[in-house]
Amino acid sequence: MSNYLNVPELFGSDVFNETVMEQRLPQQTYNAWKTCIQTGTPLQLPVANEIASAMKDWAIEKGATHYTHWFQPMTGITAEKHDSFIEPVEKGKVIMSFSGKALVRGEPDASSFPNGGLRATFEARGYTAWDPTAFAFVRDGSLYIPTCFFSYTGAALDKKTPLLRSIDEVSREAVRILRLFGDQQTTRVIPCVGAEQEYFLLPKNLYAQREDLRLTGRTLFGALPPKGQELDDHYFGTIRTRVSNFMKDLDEQLWRLGILSKTKHNEAAPCQHELAPIYTDANSACDANQLVMQIMKKCAAKHDLVCLLHEKPFKGVNGSGKHNNWSLATDTGKNLFTPGKTPRQNAQFLIFLAAFIKGIDEYQDFLRATVAGAGNDHRLGACEAPPAILSVFLGDELDAIVRSIIDGTNYTEPGKSVLRIGVDVLPSIPQDTTDRNRTSPLAFTGNKFEFRMVGSSQSVAGPNIALNTIMAEELGQIADELEQADHFDDALQKLVCRILTEHQRIIFNGNGYSQQWTEEAERRGLSNLPSTADALPVYLNAKNIALVSRHGIFTPEEFRARYDIYMQSYKKLVHIEGRTAVDMVMHQILPAALRYTKSLCDCVNAKAGSNASHRAESALIHLLSEKTDSLYGHCIKLQQELESIPVGLEEAVSFCKNVIVPEMDDMRADADALEQLTDKSCWPYPTYSDLLYY
């Protein structure tokens, strides 16, 4: 049984988790840490020293020589700087040392992370602070300490800090609602997240031959292969050996880090796969997803594969997303989106549901903006991914209940009495596990909401910050109103009915991919922000600034900084893509097409004097010349446009969207046509067929 893997023993073995802490820390220290976690108070230095020392000993036993403050800057990926534990002592010797101070606070020389104006360069230092609610772990010989990253003035420079703030905020407001329903036990409400991750795997040698993949993570050129995904023979199909070896290795590494990797399968497109973890609290889920993405990349390389996390690596082939499953649970283990069995539980469920619907309706633009990005622009609304319009799918049963509340009719027995919330029992809502409406961007799936607009490469922090904050706002408003009510049940009935009536436009159960929906959504007054350039200005919207600052999630400056950074990053990405495209056209595509044209001309010349026909050659020469001329024209134009991107950020972004991206599309059409006209042996890089059907 050499291949036997003791998973329970392996699981979490590289994590300094609660069990390890309990074993390795003095009882008093362990209790002090626990109290800090539960009450959110800072750790005292002596306690931090004890923890640091135990952590270091444990990490060294696990092979660590270094430690790193691991943080999540606004680039959406994680950053780390490694320091060794060594400290010189007398006679040229060293000891391994790690202090509480080094654990709790770090100063990475972080001046080149984007800060959106939150840090003057003379005050370039950023600070990291241990997030004691997330566990440290060992990876590749380093002790990783999950941290928050902020400026000298305390402004959040990362994605974790606002996420933690939003988690506290939604908890506080949700507990107020629970108290109104007589729940005295719950002290915290925890947002729960399960992030399903889609990705592509390609053979490393083929990937290496494509400049576009190497520099931009997606193909900028490529004609569709003769066989696409129309046969649906890849979805849930058997997994190739190289890929299954990768997956096995990946699972093992994730399990070691205490990540609950659960499901793996092939996705719709060839070479596309998915990994789903079991959901956890939002903070851990966000850290875990970052690790999943990183380890996927590293692990792929080990198996001579490359993992593509881009939202749309191949034109005409399904893109990759991330399904962000979100719910709220009490610290006593109850899911607040589970429809209950008693009238009280049902009423409470309906309040949380109403709050959610109202929140999504009021802040649809904000939630949309959290998934904006150059990559996702190619995916959202592309007929295989949710549209860029937000709506909520409830499913037939829940929809009927909501309708009956709005219409004041009884759900089960039409024409009888009105459903009295908090008094009557609701008809049961089956928890349907089948694939429900896949075209919805935000679907209720029995006891959670599945937000499907997130791009595969994006951090899930952004959308979850928005979901938590929006929910905190609505629950707070509801609590304000109900706490003042003389007759709780009456007030409840009226409130739920009013909210659902006022915000029903956001509920949509039909086909989200259809053109009719786009028109219908416009009639309903829903916001439709098809591209990043349309979506990002939402960060400047007074209503959204008021929301995030009221709840202490972002100061107006912090929020504005995000806008600047995301705008910059969009502009830079489009610029890089444009330059890569020009480079490939000038150095690879045009030369290849011209070489082939020349060989055809040689052929015609060789035939001269004979009676042989050269209709095929001549026709091809004609077509090729037409396309090479056109391609060259677009390329020169694109080159000039890339040099004339306006200086102002807003102008630059709209120029990228309205001029550069369409120009690249036109250029691509010519290049792809040339690919189809040219001898395959002359073509300078692997085609879609080579890549997707290796």
Nearer Cβ to ligand ADP, position 218 or 322?
Answer: 322
> Quick check: 541 binds ligand ADP (CB under 6 A)?
no
User: C-alpha distances in angstroms, 389 versus 278, 397, 511, 534?
Assistant: 28, 23, 12, 12
Work out what residue 276 binds among ligand ADP, Mg ion, none; the CB cut-off runs from 5 to 8 Å by kind. Answer: ligand ADP
Q: CB of residue 328 vs Mg ion: minimum separation in angstroms?
A: 18
* Spatial CA neighbour of 146 closest among 193, 78, 86: 78
> Quick check: 448 binds ligand ADP (CB under 6 A)?
yes
Count of beta carbons in the 10 Å neighbourhood of residue 462:
25
Q: What angle do CA 44, 49, 54 make, to 5 degrees?
A: 130
> Quick check: 431 binds ligand ADP (CB under 6 A)?
no
> Quick check: 325 binds ligand ADP (CB under 6 A)?
yes
Looking at the DSSP assignment, which residues form a beta bridge with residue 138? 143
Helix (H) or strand (E) holding 88, with range, is strand 86-88
Q: CB of residue 530 vs ligand ADP: minimum separation in angstroms?
A: 26
Per DSSP, 447 falls in state S
Q: Which of 115, 166, 261, 445 binds ligand ADP (CB under 6 A)?
A: 445
> Quick check: 437 binds ligand ADP (CB under 6 A)?
no
Nearer Cβ to ligand ADP, position 193 or 593?
Answer: 193
Over 263-285, what HEC string results? Answer: EEEECCCCCEEEEEECCEEHHHH
> Quick check: 189 binds ligand ADP (CB under 6 A)?
no
Nearer Cβ to Mg ion, position 217 or 321?
Answer: 321
Residues in contact with ligand ADP, counted by CB under 6 A, come to a total of 16
Work out what residue 348 binds among ligand ADP, Mg ion, none; the CB cut-off runs from 5 to 8 Å by kind. Answer: none
Nearer Cβ to Mg ion, position 445 or 628?
Answer: 445
Work out what residue 136 binds among ligand ADP, Mg ion, none; the CB cut-off runs from 5 to 8 Å by kind. Answer: none
How many residues are there in the chain? Answer: 694
Half-sphere exposure of 270 (CA within 13 A, CB side): 20
Measured distance CA(655)–CA(644) in Å, rounded: 9
Q: CB of residue 433 vs ligand ADP: minimum separation in angstroms?
A: 6
Q: CB of residue 368 vs ligand ADP: minimum separation in angstroms?
A: 21
Q: CB of residue 438 vs Mg ion: minimum separation in angstroms?
A: 9
> Quick check: 395 binds ligand ADP (CB under 6 A)?
no
Which residues in the 335-354 window bind ligand ADP by CB under 6 A? 335
Q: What is the DSSP string of 636-685?
A: HHHHHHHHT--SSHHHHHHHIIIIIHHHHHHHHHHHHHHHHHS-GGG-SS
> Quick check: 277 binds ligand ADP (CB under 6 A)?
yes
Q: Which of 76, 106, 162, 194 binds ligand ADP (CB under 6 A)?
A: 194
> Quick check: 471 binds ligand ADP (CB under 6 A)?
no
Measured distance CA(466)–CA(32) in Å, rounded: 32
Q: Which of 59, 118, 201, 276 binds ligand ADP (CB under 6 A)?
A: 276
* Pairing, β 66-70 against β 142-151: parallel
> Quick check: 267 binds ligand ADP (CB under 6 A)?
no
Nearer Cβ to ligand ADP, position 99 or 447?
Answer: 447
Q: What are phi and psi of 441, to 5 degrees?
A: -75, -20
Q: Which residue is nearest to ligand ADP (CB)?
A: 194
Residues that bind Mg ion (CB under 5 A): 196, 323
Q: What is the DSSP string of 400-435?
A: HHHHHHHHT--SSSTTSPPP-TTTSPPPP-----S-
Tokens matching residue 329: 């649970």
Q: CB of residue 97 vs ligand ADP: minimum separation in angstroms?
A: 40
> Quick check: 16 binds ligand ADP (CB under 6 A)?
no
Residues that bind ligand ADP (CB under 6 A): 192-194, 196, 276-279, 325-327, 335, 433, 445, 447-448
